[in-house]
Structure 1
């Protein structure tokens, strides 16, 4: 009877070990099977969320950080300042002290010959009829129109400093020429062409001086023009 009890107890212990081993094997298998699935799901979710967040931020906003210039126009502030400076400079050049333009001047000519003088003189006056102050300096271009063709005056004298003309003010220059005392018909003068200094636009005036010039041998022009400010002082 004692032998049967010991055998039953041994069988019971063996059965207990067998049941425990089976339960332990099932748990390990469950953990091993579920872990890869959870890891893959987590990785997939993280990748999708991260890609969408980063891509959406760059595409939807496209804005630079506050206080930084735009990538498309990195120097917008400097360009604006440069334009402001350039506009100011242009205004100064076109304003006070700028060159007198032909269209801003009223140009007239009058006979200024002195009796007994061997040469005749014509004074050309340039009046500022504009609304701004302007300057004239150097020599004007002077040409006489004659029945024998155009005759350009030669410059004489030294050009002084610029003449500053306020609106309504006038400056003159002198044109001298030989008087025809030969008794012959000479060369008939039909007009006077004046081009202000530094300009290309000319003004044609009636000739106010003696009607003719003496015939010369053609060696140089007998007509002289003085600088701005030399009215009556062509020689």
Structure 2
């Protein structure tokens, strides 16, 4: 863009011209040299909120979808994983020499569509002395896009009964997926009992989604 500037030196040279003539010259210059108007093109916004555009590696391979949020039912976005769309199983994952017992709980997406899962599942142990709720351990990771037909797992750790007594007998495992209210009751696959304590012993703990690795 060209800009015609009138300096003080120029004003001294054309001092003999009338103020009206100067005004006319300025108007003519403005008409012959208009300033262009620049408009900015609208930028494309982020597509990734609430579990949108699940283009990351599958959760079963350990990848996380950085564009995924909590999930929604909007077109093009993965919804949250629901209890009815998950096949939940549990296996004993104890290794000799470990200080605690471990159970791995696996959730397989059987809904027929991708879904988003993150955080902690609710875990309760049914015992002959009542229901015992697991405490959360660790920090939750970013949301996972769980592909249809794929699995993800988390761990449940519990104190071993090494007292020599019968302890507190475990009769079942109740699992509630993250952000859900519907639970699934499973057979308990771990050691048969917990030690009887006065409340000062180690608690039963549940790790975040993905803490036991991912299945196929």
* Structure with more helix by fraction: 1
CA separation in 2, counterparts of 1:192 and 1:135? Answer: 24
CA separation in 1, counterparts of 2:84 and 2:180? Answer: 10
Paired residues of 1:134 and 1:166 also in contact (CA < 8 A) = yes
Q: Which moved more, 1:214-223 or 1:198-207?
A: 214-223
After TM superposition, the score normalised by the length of structure 1 is 0.58
Paired residues of 2:168 and 2:196 also in contact (CA < 8 A) = yes
Going from structure 1 to structure 2, the CA distance change for 1:131 and 1:124 (only over 3 Å counts) comes to same
Structure 1 residue 99, shift from structure 2 partner: 0.1
After TM superposition, the score normalised by the length of structure 2 is 0.63
Going from structure 1 to structure 2, the CA distance change for 1:221 and 1:204 (only over 3 Å counts) comes to farther
Structure 1 ranges of 4+ moved more than 3 A = none
Paired residues of 2:157 and 2:204 also in contact (CA < 8 A) = yes
Of the three residues 147, 156, 177, the one matched with 1:175 is 156
| Bigger radius of gyration among the two | 1
CA separation in 1, counterparts of 2:73 and 2:133? Answer: 35
**Alignment partner, residue 146 of structure 2:** 165
Tell me the C-alpha RMSD between the 2 structures.
1.7
1:196 aligns with 2:177: yes
Going from structure 1 to structure 2, the CA distance change for 1:202 and 1:94 (only over 3 Å counts) comes to farther
- RCO higher in 1 or 2 (8 Å CA, sep ≥ 6)? 2
CA separation in 2, counterparts of 1:202 and 1:134? Answer: 18
Structure 1 residue 231, shift from structure 2 partner: 1.2
Question: For 1:58-207, what aligned pairs fall within 5 Å after superposition?
Answer: 92-93=73-74, 96-207=77-188
Structure 1 residue 94, shift from structure 2 partner: 6.8
Paired residues of 2:155 and 2:206 also in contact (CA < 8 A) = yes
Paired residues of 1:104 and 1:130 also in contact (CA < 8 A) = yes
Query: Which structure 2 residue ranges, 5 or more long, are not aligned?
Result: 1-71
Paired residues of 1:151 and 1:221 also in contact (CA < 8 A) = no
Give the secondary structure class of the aligned counterpart of 2:74: helix
CA separation in 2, counterparts of 1:221 and 1:118? Answer: 11
CA separation in 2, counterparts of 1:173 and 1:131? Answer: 22
Of the three residues 205, 212, 216, the one matched with 1:224 is 205
User: Paired residues, what number?
Assistant: 142
Query: Which structure 1 residue ranges, 5 or more long, are not aligned?
Result: 1-90
CA separation in 2, counterparts of 1:220 and 1:94? Answer: 49
Going from structure 1 to structure 2, the CA distance change for 1:119 and 1:172 (only over 3 Å counts) comes to same
